[in-house]
Structure 1
Amino acid sequence: MRTLAIGDIHGGLKALKQLIEKLQINTNDQLIFLGDYVDGWSDSAQVIQYLITLSKTNDCIFIKGNHDVWCEQWLRTEDVNGVWFNHGGKETIESYETFSEDDKKQHLYFFEDMQLYHIDDDNRLFLHAGFTSMHGVERELHKENFYFDRTLLEMALTMDSRIEKQSDLYPNRLKLYHEIYIGHTPTTNFNQDQPIQAINLWDVDTGAAFTGKLSAIDVHTKKVYQSDIVKDLYPNELGRNKQ
């Protein structure tokens, strides 16, 4: 059995299908998607439909990202958040043009059922962005941190390697979990096209919405699987590169 953490998809159905094919998944594998399924390339609604179908035959856990929160709000109320519209929402709305109202309701239920975080039996934490409570995700006061926070990654990246884990100076947030897997911040921001490890945290968002690839990582072996560069799969589109 493999546990595979999959980074931000952002409407890149072609990359998702390519990655799933490379993974050669079977029913014993668990797929943990780290959020941001929509907003970017032109297949956002199609990505959601694909994932709904995939979840019927495979063990899938879907974490909710900030773009998913925005899309869920639109599906529920039809109100268009201006920030969302300018950061991929326009393309997502257009992707729903051929979907019926019943389809949209099904997708709304899918978004509503997403988890804000997941902790496995080996004390691995999976979430979209981060958390700020020194006592862990269960005691986080502001749930928005689960899909907006970047301080967890920043802290892990800037940790002084000379600080021993037993030290009082070692960050409590990194002590709480055996490993942490996130998306949200593209590793391409750091000129990396692979998942980044910082202490016991892995960032699996490898910039699929921009100039990178869609990635998955086997949490046991740390083997990385990747699609082609997503923008090459959508040569007539800009994705989120225009924002």
Structure 2
Amino acid sequence: MKPTVKKVTLDKGKRIIAISDIHGNLELFKRLLGEVNYTKEDILILVGDLIEKGENSLETLRYIIELSNNQQVYVATGNCDTLWEDIKYEIDDENLLRYMLFRKNSILNEMCDKLSIEVNEKSDINFIKNQLIENFTMELSYLEQLPHIIETEDYIFAHAGITTEDLEKNEVNEIVKRDAFMDEGLAFSKYVVVGHWPTANYGKDRACCNPIINKEQKIISIDGGNGIRSEGQLNALIIDGDNITFHCVDNLLTGEIIKPQQANKNTIQIPWSDNLIDIIEEGEEFSLCRHISSNHNLLIKNDKIFKAKDVIRCYDSTDYFVEAKKGDVVSIVEKTDKITLVKKNGVIGWVENDKISC
């Protein structure tokens, strides 16, 4: 299947606002648009994963459809936006029902709730699919017609990445779903703007949720981890002529630094994609662990550690302590007995509890 490429000519006098991975968080999406002062004079480009994982996928989709009908909005599809395929075609009905039972925050469950259809292990998935097709034709048709790639004179927008600038020769499954795109070593003649892979996952010694602009490869990665990581944020890339900036929002509470703190050295951040560990010494709240691929020892909170088959893994973890000055405002991710996990200017790390008021 060839990818669908939408080529558009944009007014160079207008701002381009690019957002990816909204994941059904309508409140955060609206707040972000408000904080960047989005108006009809701007061009809005949404780089996939409009829905799933958040609590308001259906209303988020309807809001985006409304924007698309009235303003200059271009939307590319992401892997989470392809559920229409499972509804329209008999791909794997058993797995579709299993998915609905597993992912409670799904547009499919929201649609069923609107129709007062109970979803359980004994549900007739064919009946559910027929009801959704009949009652949500507009929403499913909108998702179906979304292009895989949006190309402008200066930029290419694709949810997860591309392999070649001969755009129709790209593989659809690799456009909407591929991990760590920037690590593939590809380079392009015009900037390729992608989401899908949280930018925090690229960090080795520390994680940062802000967009990454790689000038050598001409890749801009903008997924702030909204709906994926507990520290996540929703990013807006703002292209105004040659000036590229960003703005972000999250749902975290804030705290204030009351004593300065120096950053530590020789740190690590462990992403989901490389999370094999060994436990060296168990503790009451944290355990001393060894990250297998790096051979780095660090303390990991016990509720971040889990067993998978015959190995031990952890959720996103770090031993980085942020550099902070008195008066700095930070987002509070999680508070423990002695230290608090925070996000400062997008960077994730710990602060000692006596140095923060929250």
Q: CA 1:65 to 1:83, structure 2 compared with 1: closer, same or farther past 3 Å?
A: farther
Query: Is 1:21 the equivalent of 2:34?
Result: yes
**Corresponding residue for 1:110?**
142
Q: In the alignment, which of 245, 248, 257 is matched to residue 226 of structure 1?
A: 248
Identity within the alignment, %? 23
Equivalence for 1:213: 233
My pick for the range that moved more, 215-224 or 84-93, is: 84-93
What TM-score do the two structures reach when normalised by structure 1?
A: 0.77
Which runs of structure 2 are paired with 1:48-127 in the superposition (5 Å)? 48-69=61-82, 71-77=83-89, 79=93, 81=95, 85=99, 89-92=103-106, 93-96=108-111, 97-98=113-114, 101=132, 104-122=136-154, 124-127=155-158
Within the alignment, does 1:181 sit opposite 2:184 as a pair? Answer: no
User: Any conservation in 2 of the 1:119–1:126 contact (CA below 8 Å)?
Assistant: yes
Aligned residues: 212
Q: Distance in 1 between matches of 2:95 and 2:78?
A: 16
Structure with bigger RCO (C-alpha 8 Å, 6+ apart): 1
Matches within 5 A, 1:119-158: 119-122=151-154, 124-133=155-164, 136-140=166-170, 142-150=171-179, 152-156=181-185
CA separation of 1:76 and 1:120: change in aligned 2, threshold 3 A: same
Equivalent pair of 1:75/1:105 in contact (CA under 8 Å): no
Distance 2:25 2:59 in 1: 9
Q: Residues 139 and 5 (structure 1 numbering): CA distance in 2 closer, same or farther, change over 3 Å?
A: same
RMSD: 2.7
Counterpart residue number, 2:9: none
The CA distance in 2 between the partners of 1:25 and 1:82, in whole Å, is 37
Q: Secondary structure at the match of 1:46?
A: helix
Paired amino acid for 1:208: N
Q: Is the 8 A contact 1:9 1:208 kept in 2?
A: yes
Cα distance in 2 between the residues matched to 1:188 and 1:83: 32
Q: Distance in 2 between matches of 1:222 and 1:130?
A: 20
Unaligned 5+ runs, structure 1 = 157-170, 233-241
Q: Give the counterpart letter for 2:209 in structure 1.
A: D
CA contact 1:179–1:201 (8 Å) conserved in 2: yes
Paired residue secondary structure (1:224): strand
CA distance in 2, matches of 1:66, 1:225: 24
Pair 192,64 (structure 1): closer, same or farther in 2 beyond 3 Å: same
Larger Rg belongs to: 2
Instruction: Considering fraction of residues, name the structure with more strand.
Output: 2
Change in Cα spacing, 1:18 to 1:59, as seen in structure 2 (3 Å) is same
* Deviation (angstroms), 1:88: 7.3
- TM value normalised by structure 2: 0.54
1:39–1:88 Cα contact (<8 Å) kept: no
Residues 198 and 83 of structure 1, relative CA distance in 2, 3 Å threshold: farther
CA contact (8 A) 2:86 2:96 kept: no
Unaligned runs of 5+ in 2: 1-13, 116-130, 254-314, 316-358
2:220 pairs, out of 192, 197, 202, with: 202
- Structure 2 counterpart of 1:95, one-letter code: E
In 2, distance between residues paired with 1:2 and 1:154?
29
Aligned-pair distance for 1:83? 10
- DSSP 3-state at the match of 1:132: coil
Matched residue, 1:160 = none
Instruction: Quote the Cα distance in structure 1 between the aligned partners of 2:249 and 2:225.
Output: 11
Looking at structure 2, the residues matched to 223 and 87 of structure 1 have their Cα atoms a distance apart, in angstroms, of 40
